[in-house]
């Protein structure tokens, strides 16, 4: 999971047909990784899954992308709403009903 997160964080962005390396600040990176490593096991616990199964489920149905894009807003609210939002995104993308 950590390798995927690091790849996603440091993946090059294409701007005006030029590859630009996007690198967040060290504190933002640390905060993002800390939140993601906290919320994925909480998701697994809530839905009675193994952590690896929760990670695969979130990755397959778009929950991990949603978490990556919106982590800043999600981490300011309670974990309940972050987990519920990820579940709704996964359900809308074909995950379990």
- pLDDT tens digits, 25-38: 678 888 888 888 89
Alpha-carbon distance of 48 to 51, in angstroms, equals 9
pLDDT of residue 55: 93
Average confidence score pLDDT of the chain: 80
- pLDDT tens digits, 51-93: 999 999 999 999 999 988 888 888 888 899 999 999 999 999 9
Q: Name the one residue in this structure whose structure tokens are 């949603």.
A: 66
Torsion from C-alpha of 18, 21, 22, 25, nearest 10 degrees: -150
């Amino acid at each position: 999971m950590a390798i995927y997160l690091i790849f996603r964080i440091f993946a090059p962005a294409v701007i005006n047909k030029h590859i630009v390396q996007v690198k967040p600040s060290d504190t933002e990176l640390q905060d993002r990784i800390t939140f993601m490593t906290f919320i994925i096991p909480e998701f697994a616990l809530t839905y009675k899954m193994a952590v690896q199964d929760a990670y695969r489920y979130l990755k397959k149905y778009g929950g991990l992308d949603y978490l990556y894009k919106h982590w800043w807003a999600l981490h300011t609210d309670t974990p309940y709403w972050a987990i519920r939002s990820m579940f709704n995104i996964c359900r809308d993308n074909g995950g379990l009903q």
